[in-house]
Amino acid sequence: MVVKRDGRRQPFDRQKIIAGILKACEKRPVSMDKIEEITLEIERAIQRKYDREVEAKTIGEIIMERLAVLDEVAYVRFASVYRQFRDVNQFMNELKLILEKDKVKDKNKDKKPRGRGRRKKGD
């Protein structure tokens, strides 16, 4: 069962997850196979952690985690609806967080892995 924000309870519906992800990924280079795959990952994560009930908020957070890795534009689209941004400043703050994460990723890519000191024979 899914516990909604207002306290109502509804049966879990994977189609709602797919519909939300599809909307977020509209006109993005994300295949239906990938959407099915992350929907399955989300379902499994929920089943592992929650026995009978899960809050809708938790499902939304899990979806956002997956979308952030999959496609940043889809993530921002989903987050803007899910988190109900009230103004442009909230939206911009979310974008700044994404940009900061990208900077960290780029810095880590630029670092070259170091060898462990092993040399080939003859060196």
| 83's tokens | 């988190």
Q: Domain range for residue 39?
A: 2-83
Residues 51, 58, 23, 103: what is their CA dihedral angle, to the nearest 10 degrees? Answer: -130
What is the structure's pLDDT at 17? 95
What is the structure's pLDDT at 98? 72
Q: Is residue 37 part of a domain?
A: yes
How far apart (Å, rounded) are the C-alpha atoms in residues 117 and 98?
36
Counted domains in the chain: 1
What is the structure's pLDDT at 82? 74
Q: Is residue 44 part of a domain?
A: yes
What is the structure's pLDDT at 113? 54
Q: Is residue 12 part of a domain?
A: yes
The segments of the chain whose pLDDT lies below 50 read 117, 119-120
What is the structure's pLDDT at 88? 80
Q: Is residue 111 part of a domain?
A: no
